[in-house]
Amino acid sequence: LYEGVDVYGVHNGYSGMVHDDIEQLTSRSVSDLIQRGGTFLGTARSKTFMTPEGRKTAYENLRKRNIEGLVIIGGDGSLTGGSLLSKETGMPIVGLPGTIDNDVWGMDYTIGCDTACNTIVDAINKLRDTASAHRRIIVLEVMGRGSGWLALVSGISGGAEYILVPEEKFDLAEIVNDLTKAYEHGKRYILIVVAEGAAKGQDVCDYIETRVSVLGHIQRGGSPTVIDRVRASQLGEQAALALISGLSGIVFGYHKGHVVSVNLYDAVNNKKALDPEYLHLAKVLF
């Protein structure tokens, strides 16, 4: 809007694109939103869009409004869909990494991951109170089907004794043996953070008496942190300017404190690894 271009919003993601649920936006449309979590436009999966016919319909709905470029906000699935649409129709696409998993290749930050991590650490702090009072082993299961970033960083920040992630092999029987020794040396309580893709929190109960807390979808909501608000705003501006200048096929993100752009194809076809320094730190701190 600042640059004098028309801006449209697609409701409910690719489903809305296929079903022509598209609205022209004004400055009022996006006022009073920065403190809100989630997405005011809504989001939804679409099996229809994942077919060539569905993408053709989506493209036609865009073109009849003279929409000349798209900003796609999401994780691997959303960015892959945008890549396919651009390849088949020539529609210019710029991606923004919107996923709490922080698993988009080529960058060390994705929109929403900081807020989710802070939500988890807040839960860890509360669970620590009850674990200490009752001298219990408590397991907190967090999101992360294919990536353990949330579990790793929140576990380090919350002082968890063990952090289980899908990227690292582990032996539950060996972990239980370590926990038993810790108790023998005067440990009053234990907190374990496990990514859902590594194991189910209940699996630990097969080896030792524990209490399991599954945090669930609360991780996806809540008022955004300062970091998420500022960085999302900066990335949004870069995406708009890129489309206006004729760029396409890139994803903007943060790497080592700076805004970077990576090739869209590379972003969706490479798997991001966990930071080895964080993995080492988690082992050192136990």
| Residues noted as catalytic | 101
Name the phi and psi angles at 251, rounded to 5.
-125, 130
Name the phi and psi angles at 37, rounded to 5.
-85, 180
Q: Three-state SS for 186?
A: coil
Name the phi and psi angles at 164, rounded to 5.
-110, 125
Structure tokens at 261: 């752009």
Question: How many other C-beta atoms are found inside a 10 Å radius of the C-beta of residue 239?
Answer: 24
CA distance 213 to 190: 13
CA distance 285 to 277: 12
- Helix 149-158 / helix 113-134 crossing angle, nearest 10 deg: 50
* DSSP assigned state of 168: S
